[in-house]
Amino acid sequence: MKPITCGIKGTQDILPAESHKWQFVEDIMRKQAESYGFKEIRTPVFEHTELFNRSVGDTTDVVQKEMYTFTTKGGESVTLRPEGTAGAARAMLEHGIYNDGYPIKAYYFTSCYRYEKPQKGRLREFHQFGMEVYGAPSHFADAEVICAAKSVFDRLGISGLSLEINSIGCPKCRPNYHAALKEYFGEHKDCLCETCLSRLDRNPMRILDCKNPECTEIAANAPTVLDYICEECKEHFDGVKNCLDSAGIEYAVNPQIVRGLDYYTRTVFEFVSNDIGAQGTVCGGGRYDGLVEELGGKHTPSLGFGMGMERLILLMESQNIEIPKPQTCDIYIAGIGDAAKLKAFELIEGIRNSSLIAEGDTVGRSLKAQMKYADKIKAKFSMVIGDNELAENKAVLRNMESGEQTDISLDDSFFSSFFNIYVENCNSKLIEQMNDSIN
């Protein structure tokens, strides 16, 4: 039995020394989503199991092998979300967001759960950034969503990604393709895995997504969907390509892309990298025009994508993309004696209220140890308050980098005096914010 101090297999901790990377990436994602007119949505970590069975598809690997499903004390079957789209669509329906008018544009940051073999870039608990559009049938919407995903990569400075696109048709033309796949895979029954055999009659397209090496080899020579799509789907796909061409976005048509979830129709796409090994897909998405209808709503053309956070940060690290370090402490104030500690506490809180980072002792360090700690956390300034400083109502403010020392009053003028000194000595992005606080 593993000790309780060990994390569960397939999960990872984001430690304080690493969290700034996530915050930096999330901030850019949020800004890019909002620049495209998207607003954030947050949904519960678990849903009724039937939601995922109906939306994701009961012939997919996700539903058949990977979902974390359990029965509640009330006898309900619930599942930890394996992806973000189904919950967003459910929320849109339940709360009648469609009454606000189309298109509905929503983005999310979400944790997802799939029971699969943990490996580099693939965890059992992973995180996604996603963007969803409801009520937009035009091919311009497809291209816009692809452009939005690319804009995130561009803002993060990621290079070397290839965009692969495909059209997997619609309910009107898909039966012909299914028939061709059944005929083809039927000739290779003896070599298909057990899971793919069960899919052969119900949903043969799922065989194209199988990770079994033998099935993958057979699928490589299967009929391609682009040979079977109807005229409407072809026009839609041509429209997407024309938009991408007009935006100067390079892409390759890959007839093998089908995506791993059943709700996809027409356009599907992936952004792929060769820099992070086998788990090279860092973003995948497409159109799912039948999803809302499948969940009991009216026919609502919809589309979106999911972007894996862990893989994205792994990719940035592999490309040596520099992520700005978090702000360090602006001032450390040491107090010697109860009265001085109380005064230090008062000043520290006042500085924090003006959007700067201030620290003081809370663990009982000696003065020498406090100064070593101030240096360790890279405080820009330090100040010591003792009985003499309290009696004279002034202290010495020390610039930790230059060693320059300045007398500073501890009365009500302390804050404005410190801010002026800070502005003169520090090239900080918070200067404007500080000035607003002073005024």
**In this model, does residue 116 exceed pLDDT 80?**
yes
Q: Where are the alpha helices (DSSP H) in 37-186?
A: 49-52, 61, 85-94, 139-156, 174-186
The reply to whether domains 16-173+229-318 and 331-426+430-434 share a CATH topology is no
**In this model, does residue 178 exceed pLDDT 70?**
yes
Q: How far apart are the first and last CA of the chain?
A: 60
pLDDT of residue 122: 80
CA-nearest of 127, 122, 250, 232 to 172 is 232
- Give the model confidence (pLDDT) of 286-342 as tens digits: 999 999 998 999 999 999 999 999 999 999 999 999 999 899 999 999 999 999 999
Amino acid letter, residue 370: Q
pLDDT of residue 436: 47
CA-nearest of 276, 275, 311, 268 to 152 is 311
The domain limits of the chain are 16-173+229-318, 331-426+430-434
The class level of CATH for 331-426+430-434 reads alpha beta
CA 225/CA 229 separation, integer angstroms = 6
Lowest mean pLDDT among 44-58, 96-110, 142-156, 417-431: 417-431
Work out the mean pLDDT of the chain and round it to a whole number.
Answer: 90
- Give the model confidence (pLDDT) of 241-269 as tens digits: 999 999 999 999 998 888 766 778 999 99
Strand runs (DSSP E) across 27-171, as ranges? Answer: 39-40, 46-48, 69-71, 77-80, 104-113, 125-134, 162-167
Assigned superfamily of 16-173+229-318: Bira Bifunctional Protein; Domain 2 (3.30.930.10)
- Give the model confidence (pLDDT) of 373-405 as tens digits: 999 999 999 999 999 999 999 999 999 999 999
